Amino acid sequence: MLCIIGGACSGRRALVAERYPQAVWHRLEPGEPPADWAGRAPSGGVLVVTGWAEWLKALLAATADDEAVRSAWRAQLSALDEREREAQGEALLILDEMGYGIVPMAAEARRLRDLNGWLAQEVASRSRAVWQVRHGLCKQLK
């Protein structure tokens, strides 16, 4: 698993498109179960998965229990780990950085920010490489 994280319009997608021109792209849809997208990983290739923030936002709206939310994304990531092994390919997750701005006043926005940060930590811990993109510049963190 690979991870690229950065803020809005930071250049993440352009960087991935440049580095992995043959990659298959998939945007997560809110409420989409793992079986619907993990199988799209190409054999021996790279599957780029975007849309994590919107997927997480929908999950938060449907579930008040933060631990249940964390369990849901662990299931998503485990399905992807398994598919990587089966296909001998690699998943590249593009995540949104939400932790550098002003802390939101609304409780639901703070919850999204916090859980997005925990998701990023989980993805980073599973990833063999992690890059941060800011202003079109890329820095390898792991």
Tell me the pLDDT tens digit for each residue of 68-99. 999 988 988 898 888 888 888 889 999 999 87
Domain that holds residue 39: 2-140
What distance in Å separates the CA atoms of residue 109 and residue 133, rounded to the nearest whole number? Answer: 23
Contact 94, 49 (CB under 8 A): yes
- Provide the number of structural domains found in the chain: 1
pTM of the model: 0.89
Tens of pLDDT, residues 35-46: 566 667 677 789
* Coil, strand or helix at 104: coil
What distance in Å separates the CA atoms of residue 12 and residue 76, rounded to the nearest whole number? Answer: 22
Residue 96's CATH number: 3.40.50.300
What distance in Å separates the CA atoms of residue 31 and residue 12, rounded to the nearest whole number? Answer: 24
Enumerate the β-bridge partners of residue 30.
none
